[in-house]
Structure 1
Amino acid sequence: IAVVGEDVDRVGESLSRTGLNLPGRQLKLIQALQATGKPVVMVMINGQPLTINWENKYVPAILEAWFPSVQSGQVIAETLFGDNNPGGRLPITFPKTTGQLEYNFPFKPSSQAEQGGQNSWGKTSVKGALYPYGYGLSYTTFEYSNLQVSPEKGNSQGLIQVSVDVTNTGQRKGDDVVQLYLKDEVSSVTTYEYDLRGFDRVTLNPGEKKTVQFTLHPDDLALLDKNMNWTVEPGKFMVMIGSSSVDIKLKKEFEIE
């Protein structure tokens, strides 16, 4: 078990760094441990996303602990020994390189290389996130099914009900964070490609299935129009259910008349 990362003197305002790799010679330490042939678990203590590309490729397990609390020792130990099945999801995006910065979610069409569109050449760009917004692993697996959106045609001041079935398809009890993303397919002004409009953390036993429900309000569909008014425009919207911002499992369309 290798505990690596940063301290509070390397994270924060006026503490810029030339890179987002593990500080100092920590990568060399991880590589030396990996070379022994023994399985390595890397615990990361950090306050910002790090470009841990080699570690992601070669280290069998990585536990993101952020800057933990006084209970961290117990919680980390319980997680490593399997007594705690983690269910957290990333509220930020991890880039592969500082050359991608700023790299974020949500994003406007073609605003960032390989996010909704390629840059002008695309031959030298680093594509995709190391870990996307909403990403996280579990000791079990989940499956989504039966996405329902009602009504499929509604008005600008009505409510849209969304439901989806989630099943624990693994062998262990665990938590899943069901994420609802919404895309405005055609709009009078440029909006985000899609945005998070709901999430719910559910606990499921092996083989158990639960129905997760969301309610979309007019504010969830509104955009700031050219006259700087919040408006729900008529047209089609796409509901997307996923386990991260890029791992979309189910989609369904509805229309505002």
Structure 2
Amino acid sequence: LKETGTPLVVVYIEGRPLEKEWAAENADALLTAYYPGQEGGNAIAEVIFGKYNPAGRLPVTVPRSVGQIPIYYNRRAPQLHPYVEGEASPRYPFGYGLSYTTFDYSGLNLLPGDDGTLTVEATVTNSGDRDGEEVVQLYLHPEYAATVQPLMRLADFRRVSIPKGESRKVCFTLPVSAFEIIGPDYKPMLQKGSWDIMVGASSADIRLKGSHVM
């Protein structure tokens, strides 16, 4: 089919991440449907033919090969390094997903509350030519910590519907507990100091970044 020049869409029916290297490099589009149930055929057809604009995001990390396993977005330091025979980055990162439109991020605003909470605001604009939904993701990371922490940790997310050409303000309110870690005594503790606040479209696509001091 590829050799005929016909546009090729590969649909994956799966219960776990599969090896997608050939399809990712050769197909014109990939659609992961997991186990879609008895209405799955209709849902897949509506996505492929553009009746429905998809907004799903990966709840797992998809590796390039079995040799990368285990691989996950919230790994601890140090950063991944390339293999002798391949890349260290995953094929598709946690939180990744496409739609038939595009979104721009701007206006990060951090508003500390008197009770220790933190409100995070960001403006998301539908810069494409179709109405769509974006899954805005908020990640945290302490600059210094009593124990080794993940390079990033998903703290919250919002799925927001935005007509083409319009913008929406997305707000997150983080409780004090969002800035707790497991300390050296294996008990939760509030980690004082500076925290990185990251807002983006996936764990590998951070659009806005700021800092907050607890």
Q: Give the TM bin, normalised by the shorter chain.
A: over 0.9
Shift of 1:193: 1.1
Consecutive unaligned residues in structure 1, runs of 5 or more: 1-32, 111-115
Structure-1 residue corresponding to 2:141: 183
- The one of 56, 60, 64 equivalent to 2:28 is 60
Q: What's the secondary structure of 1:220's corresponding residue?
A: helix
Query: C-alpha deviations, 1:209-242, integer Å up to 9, x for none?
Result: 0000001112211011112221112110010011
- The match for 2:90 among 111, 122, 129 is 129
* 1:77-116 pair list within 5 angstroms: 77-110=45-78, 116=79
**Secondary structure class of the residue paired with 1:89:** coil
Q: In 2, distance between residues paired with 1:193 and 1:79?
A: 34
Which residue matches 1:219?
Answer: 177
Letter in 2 for 1:253: S
Letter in 2 for 1:143: D
- Partner Cα separation in structure 1 for residue 50 and residue 203 of structure 2: 27
Number of aligned positions between the proteins: 214
Amino acid paired to 1:137: L
Instruction: Indicate the residue corresponding to 2:200 in structure 1.
Output: 242
Would the aligned equivalents of 2:123 and 2:170 in 1 still touch at CA under 8 Å? yes
Secondary structure of 2:202's aligned partner? coil
Deviation at 1:150, TM superposition (A): 1.3
**How many angstroms apart in 1 are the aligned matches of 2:80 and 2:193?**
23
CA–CA separation in structure 1 for the residues paired with 2:17 and 2:184: 35
Structure-1 separation of matches of 2:40 and 2:192 = 49
Quick one: percent identity of the two aligned structures? 38
Q: Cα offset for 1:106?
A: 1.4
Using the TM superposition, give the Cα deviation of residue 125 of structure 1 relative to its aligned residue in structure 2, in angstroms: 4.9
**Alpha-carbon distance in 1 for matches of 2:48, 2:10:** 10
Q: Is the 8 A contact 2:73 2:152 kept in 1?
A: no
**Paired letter, 1:204:** I
Q: Would you say the 8 A contact 1:177–1:243 is kept in 2?
A: yes
Q: Tell me the distance in 2 between the aligned counterparts of 1:82 and 1:76.
A: 10
Q: Distance in 1 between matches of 2:86 and 2:11?
A: 30
Instruction: Identify unmatched segments of 5+ residues in structure 2.
Output: none
> For residues 7 and 84 of structure 2, what CA distance do their matches in structure 1 show?
36
> Which runs of 4 or more aligned residues in structure 1 lie more than 2 Å from their structure 2 counterparts after TM superposition?
122-126
> Deviations for 1:103-144, whole angstroms, at most 9, x for unmatched residues?
11211113xxxxx2437xx54453201000000000000000
Instruction: Give the corresponding residue for 2:130.
Output: 172
The CA deviation at 1:76 is: 0.9
2:8 aligned residue: 40
Task: Give the conservation status (yes or no) of the 8 Å contact 1:51–1:130.
Answer: no
C-alpha deviation, 1:73, in angstroms: 1.3
Mapped contact 2:19–2:64 kept (Cα < 8 A): yes
Other-structure match for 1:118: 81
Q: Partners in 2 of 1:194 and 1:63 — Cα distance? A: 27
CA distance in 1, matches of 2:69, 2:90: 11
Number of the residue aligned with 1:50: 18
1:5-44 alignment to 2 at 5 Å? 33-44=1-12
The TM-score with structure 1 as length reference comes to 0.80
Partner SS, residue 250 of structure 1:
strand
| CA–CA distance in structure 2, aligned partners of residues 91 and 185 of structure 1 | 25
